[in-house]
Structure 1
Amino acid sequence: MQSVTFFAALIAGVLVPLQAGANAALGRGLGHPLWATMISLAVSAICVVPVMLALRVSGPSIAGLADQPKWIWIGGIVGVVYITAALLLAPKLGAAIFMTAVIAGQILASLAIDYFGLVGFQAKPLTLPRLIGAAVVVAGVLVMQGPSLWRLTQSGT
């Protein structure tokens, strides 16, 4: 079962740079990146409704929302920031540089989230293998993108 879960995550990862490129093209077609963000999120909502209906997902229980931590609302904000950043930055940086920078940021933020037990995750220690793994990912990003990043800093982009 874990291999199926891993494969599903891998497929989801394959789709992310496609999303960035498609949203960037949508932004150009609509005349502004924020329209692309809005349309992308609307298409997401339109796509999830039939799935929810097919699965017979019951309506939400909003009565207990006031008792929940306030940070539960950041998901939508983060989604807007990410989609907008992707459609603005990916065309300038290229898919590989954009995605490796995103992945490095995700790894570093994930270590902090795990360590401090943020946003509902159980706290996990910063072990040497986890730190080495994160360092390898960040080093991989720097090695892979080093020459490109150097050109970007020299061109002032």
Structure 2
Amino acid sequence: MSLLDNVIFCAFICIVGGVATASQGAVNAKLGQYTGQGLSSTIVFCIGAITSCIYFLIEVKGRPSPDLPQTMALAPWWAWTGGVLGAAFVIITILALPKLGAGTTTAIIVCTQLVFSCVIDNFHLFGIPFRQYSPWRGIATVGLIGCVGVIAKF
């Protein structure tokens, strides 16, 4: 049994991810003050690439699968856009956070992530299993948008 089969562990790493995501914008924006916004984004992704390579080598125990090139070739074109989406996220937070603040920037991003995630579930986008956009999810969406308004206002 893998540690990732444990629901509590998965919830814990999601909390860590939330803290990391909330911190990332502020950290990147601060670096941008010293290096410029474009260079800051480049530095962030270079360090991220190194970190991802280390994780990859740990995951495969230093020996990638011999059929990795063939497996990679089977991926749909849009599966390769994650780096572009990640770069857009980092650049947007570097640009918006100094103007909107960490709370408002993060609130808008998280609200949008949740709403679009429900759209992804409902329309089975990107091969994600179907999960209906129920009235309860609609009520939660309205609540999320209200929370963003309160955070932005106060």
TM-score normalised by structure 2 residue count: 0.85
Q: CA deviation at 1:135?
A: 2.0
- Deviation string for 1:76-133 (max 9, x for gaps)? 1100100000111111110000000001110111111111111121121111222222
In the alignment, the residues of structure 1 paired with residue 103 and residue 80 of structure 2 have an alpha-carbon distance, to the nearest angstrom, of 30
Unaligned ranges ≥5, structure 1: 149-157
Q: CA deviation at 1:24?
A: 1.0
Q: CA deviation at 1:18?
A: 1.4
Unaligned ranges ≥5, structure 2: 1-5
In the alignment, the residues of structure 2 paired with residue 66 and residue 45 of structure 1 have an alpha-carbon distance, to the nearest angstrom, of 21
Correspondent of 1:23 among 18, 24, 28: 28
Number of aligned residue pairs: give it: 146
Output the aligned Cα RMSD.
1.8
Identity of aligned residues (%): 25
Q: CA deviation at 1:136?
A: 1.7
SS in 1 for 2:79: helix
1:1-157 correspondence to structure 2 within 5 Å: 1-30=6-35, 32-55=36-59, 56=61, 58-59=63-64, 61-145=68-152, 147=153
- Deviation string for 1:19-77 (max 9, x for gaps)? 111111211211x2121111101101222333333341542612244433211012111
- The residue identity in structure 1 corresponding to 2:127 is G
Runs of 4 or more consecutive aligned structure 1 residues displaced over 3 Å after TM superposition: 64-67
TM-score normalised by structure 1 residue count: 0.83
Worse overlay, 97-106 or 40-49: 40-49
